[in-house]
């Protein structure tokens, strides 16, 4: 795979979407499933999950278990 994205100091790829874009995708589908966010951004579900959990740690989104699924919403 020929990935031209930049890597940060830790060697990880820089995200292709800003935090605002991820939050906007959650807001658009609230309550948003991880897969919905991934599809909205055109990224893998695992990538969306990683980004959502980082935003959760920062207190910018919240999660809730509904049945067997997690749904995300934006903190106001």
Give tens-digit pLDDT for 1-18: 445 656 656 665 556 899
For the stretch 23-71, pLDDT in tens is 999 999 999 999 999 999 999 999 999 999 999 999 999 999 999 989 9
CA distance 43 to 15: 10
Residue 43, pLDDT score: 95
Look-up of token digits 């605002």: 20
The CATH architecture annotation of domain 19-71 reads Orthogonal Bundle (1.10)
**Neighbour count for residue 25 (Cβ, 10 Å):** 24
């Amino acid at each position: 795979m020929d990935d031209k994205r930049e890597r940060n100091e830790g060697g990880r790829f820089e995200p292709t979407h800003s935090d605002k874009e991820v939050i906007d995708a959650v807001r658009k589908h609230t309550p948003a499933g991880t897969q919905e966010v991934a599809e909205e951004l055109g990224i893998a579900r695992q990538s969306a999950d990683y980004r959502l959990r980082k935003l959760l740690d920062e207190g910018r989104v919240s999660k809730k278990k509904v049945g067997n699924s997690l749904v995300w919403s934006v903190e106001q």
